[in-house]
Amino acid sequence: MKLTVAEYLSRRGLPADWRYASPFGRLAAETYRARYHREPRHAFRLINGRFRRVMAYRASEVHVLATAWDRYPRTNPAAAVPAPRRPSPHRTLARIDRELSAYVSGDAMRWQPTSELPARHP
């Protein structure tokens, strides 16, 4: 007997039309490919009034779905990778002001032209 992602999710207590079933199924297929070095089998299921081809797993391959369950962030919050922390804009602006003040004097806006020749820049 072949087991699809929707059937597996309903066994785990989630609705078969769960919003994240498709990404979960892609992760399960990726896990299967990494383990067995071939594509998962297919089965036809009636979805929204049409027969559609979906990935299907044998009873001996259910461990692939269990591994995907453990790896998928929506089903296992511990598997979620935390987003990288970005510095707050206030701290970033303060740092930029500190760095610029080292290069620019405080009276830069009060420049007066002189009779000296301008310095040549390389």
Domain range spanning residue 15?
A: 3-79
pLDDT above 70 covers a percentage of the chain that reads 79
Domain total of the chain: 1
In angstroms, rounded to a whole number, what is the distance separating the alpha carbons of residues 118 and 120? 6
pLDDT in tens, 62-83: 999 999 988 888 877 776 666 6
Residue 54 inside a domain? The answer is yes
pLDDT at 108 over 60: no
34 phi and psi angles, rounded to 5 deg: -65, -35
User: Is residue 113 assigned to a domain?
Assistant: no
The answer to whether position 26 is within a domain reads yes
| Residue 99 domain-assigned (yes or no) | no
Flag whether 56 is in a domain.
yes
Give domain status of residue 65, yes or no: yes
Q: Is 87 among the domain residues?
A: no
What pTM value is reported for the model? 0.60
Task: Report yes or no on 44 lying in a domain.
Answer: yes
Looking at the DSSP assignment, which residues form a beta bridge with residue 106? none
- b/e map 79-105, b = 16+ CB within 10 Å: eeeeeeeeeeeeeeeeeeeeeeeeeee
